[in-house]
Amino acid sequence: MPGILSLIAGALWVLAVIQIMFPLPGLSPVMAGLLVCFVIGAITRVAWHTQILCTVLALVTVGLAWFYGQWSAIVPGITKAAIFPAFLSTIVLLRATAEQRPEIVNARQMFGQLDPLKRDSGIVIGTHLIGAILQVGVFAILAPILGRNAPVKERREVFTVAIRGMATVPFWSPFVVGMAVASQYLPLVPLWQVMALGMVLSILGIATSILVFDRNPGLGTLRRALRSLVPIAFPIFVSALVVVGTVAVTGLSTLQALILSLPIPCLLAALQVRAASVPEVLRQTTGGIGRIGPETSILACSTTLGAVFEAALPHMGLLAWFNTIALPAVVVIFIVILTMNIAGLFGVHAIVTGTFLLV
């Protein structure tokens, strides 16, 4: 089954590239059908909580479609979601490439050499930068800090520090799923503006984190961490700028630009290390795209639900009510952020909450 899922995901990746470069009406139904096949094949292999979430999303979708007579919105919703496997596959390729690069090897060494009493700022900044591309994979890079017999208290301390660095990654990184979802619903918002504001917020958040929560804060420790991480930061920001530049030059959406612009630079970056790196990157990517089932299933179900909800919204009376209260933009943004955070505390997936709010 993983091999079949990899083939379907690869086919969706190729078809998405073709669709972006040469829009063909006949490809959309094919991609929608392949996405349905992928989700059906993947849903039996994902964790039980993901199965429950997708089942609930599917039932709500059917309920809304039946109650408001919006069955015709289901297929466009699936079609809209068909680009996400290509996005996730590209991210898998990006991560596989990053793991072959010497910068990641140096990061492992840097983490391993950090003074246990003065390492908080290095971990915060390091996990933020590396997490922008590897995301949850950054915790494997932290392994040199902890030996096999590290006590639970020390593991908790390292994780708590690392999560402070990871928490602000979605503010600016175009490689996270949240940015992909938001860009689908807010296509008129320029990516460079989102990233610029996000970087400012990330810097403020990281600085506050270091000053308030580090066990041994100090400018000397911070300088050493920044000096060690400069080689890591450069390729990460170059990757992000490639996506931003492609959006600016071509006018493509963030998702489309990322799918088109990253694969060739990734392969060139792997080739720069050594010729054998390219086959290794391709091998890891081929295996990895067969494991994007959980993310793809949630995105497909939530996007389809969003399409049906959007079609049914005029019949609910909610739009008229929203227009009467005429909320300022700042208040709307505050409500979106607050609602997603509160829902997250109760275990509601951010993609689900975000889909409803963005619609």
The answer to whether the beta carbons of residues 78 and 35 sit under 8 Å apart is: yes
Interhelix angle for 74-81 vs 48-68, to 10°? Answer: 140
**pLDDT tens digits along 183-220:** 888 888 888 899 999 999 999 998 888 888 887 766 66
Percentage of the chain beyond pLDDT 70 is 89
Between vectors from CA 313 to CA 300 and to CA 317, what angle results, nearest 5°? 155
pTM of the full structure: 0.86
How much is the mean pLDDT over the chain? 85
Euclidean distance between CA atoms 309 and 291, whole angstroms: 29
The answer to whether the beta carbons of residues 79 and 29 sit under 8 Å apart is: yes
CA dihedral sign of residues 266, 270, 273, 274: negative
**pLDDT tens digits along 255-313:** 899 999 999 988 888 888 777 688 888 899 998 898 899 999 999 999 999 999 989 88
Identify the weakest region by mean pLDDT among 31-45, 79-93, 338-352: 338-352
The answer to whether the beta carbons of residues 307 and 76 sit under 8 Å apart is: yes
Q: How far is CA 243 from the centre of its chain?
A: 14
Per-residue confidence band for 73, with pLDDT thresholds at 50, 70 and 90: very high
| Residue for token pair 């689908």 | 184
Query: How high is the pLDDT of residue 225?
Result: 66
In whole angstroms, how far apart are CA 273 and each of 82, 233, 239, 240? 33, 18, 17, 20
**pLDDT tens digits along 107-116:** 767 666 666 6
The closest of 92, 87, 202, 198 to 137, measured between CA atoms, is 92
Euclidean distance between CA atoms 277 and 285, whole angstroms: 12
